Structure 1
Amino acid sequence: MPTPPSVTVCGPASWNQLILLDHLPEPVPHMQFARRSWETIGGTSAGKALHLADLGVKVRLCSPLGTDTEGQRIRSALTAAGVAVERLTSEQTERHVNLMSDDGKRVSLYLAVPSTPSEHELSVAAEAVAAADVAIIDLSELGTLLLQRLDPQQTPIWADLHDYDGSSEFHEPFLRAATTVFMSDDSTEDPWELMRACLERGPRLAVCTRGAEGAIALEASGARHEVSAVPAHVVDTNGAGDAFMTGFLAATLRGATVDDALKAAAAQARIAIESEHLHPVLTSL
Structure 2
Amino acid sequence: MSHALVIGEALVDIVRDAAGEVTEHPGGSPANVALGLARLGRHAQLATWFGRDERGRAVHDHLRASDVHLVPGSDDAERTSTAEAQLDADGAATYTFDLLWNVPEVHLDDDLAVLHVGSIGATLRPGADAVAEIALAARDHATISYDVNARPSIMGEPVDAESLIERVASRSDVIKVSDEDFRWLYSHLDPLDAAREWAQQGPAVVVVTQADQGSTAFTSSGLEVHVPAPAVTVVDTVGAGDSYMSGLIDALWTAKLLGASRREKLHAISEDDLRTAMRWAARIAAITVSRPGADPPTRHELEPTS
**Alpha-carbon distance in 2 for matches of 1:45, 1:135:** 11
Tell me the percent identity.
23
Amino acid at match of 2:33: K
Extract unaligned runs of 5+ from structure 2. 152-157, 184-188, 257-272, 299-306
Q: Is the 8 A contact 1:137 1:143 kept in 2?
A: no
One-letter code aligned to 2:170 = R
Partners of 1:115 and 1:259 in 2: CA distance? 35
Q: TM-score, normalized by length of structure 2?
A: 0.78
For residue 227 of structure 1, report the CA deviation from its aligned partner: 0.5
Q: Are 2:92 and 1:95 equivalent residues in the alignment?
A: no
SS of 1:107's partner is strand
Distance 1:185 1:115 in 2: 26
- 1:182 and 2:176 aligned: yes
| Structure 1 runs not aligned, ≥5 long | 23-33
How far apart in 1 are the matches of 2:297 and 2:54? 20
Q: 2:290 aligns with which of 269, 274, 277?
A: 274
- Decide whether the 8 Å contact of 2:243 with 2:296 is kept in 1: no
Higher percent of residues as helix: 2
Q: TM-score normalized by structure 1? A: 0.84
Q: Tell me what 1:29 maps to.
A: none
Q: Does 1:77 align with 2:62?
A: yes
Report the CA distance shift for 1:215/1:281 in structure 2 as closer, same or farther (over 3 A): closer
Q: Whose strand proportion is higher, 1 or 2?
A: 1
Q: Residues 236 and 275 of structure 1 are in contact (CA less than 8 Å); yes or no, is this contact kept in structure 2? A: yes
Alpha-carbon displacement from aligned partner over 1:221-268 (angstroms, at most 9, x marks no partner) = 101111110111100101111111111110110117111001101101
The number of aligned residues is 260
Aligned residues of 2:198 and 2:206 also touching (Cα < 8 A):
yes
Contact 1:65 1:94 in 2 (8 A): yes
Aligned partners of 1:8 and 1:129 also within 8 Å: no
1:68-114 deviation per Cα after TM superposition (whole angstroms, max 9, x unaligned): 1111110111101121122422111111222111234433222x322
- The worse-fitting range, judged by mean Cα deviation, of 192-201 and 37-46 is 192-201
- Identify the residue that residue 99 of structure 2 maps to in structure 1: 113
Q: What is the match of residue 173 of structure 1?
A: 167
1:133 maps to 113
RMSD: 2.3
Q: Is the 8 A contact 1:136 1:159 kept in 2?
A: yes
8 A contact 1:48–1:242 mirrored in 2: yes
CA distance in 2 between counterparts of 1:11 and 1:144 reads 12
- How far apart are the structure 1 equivalents of 2:93 and 2:109? 32
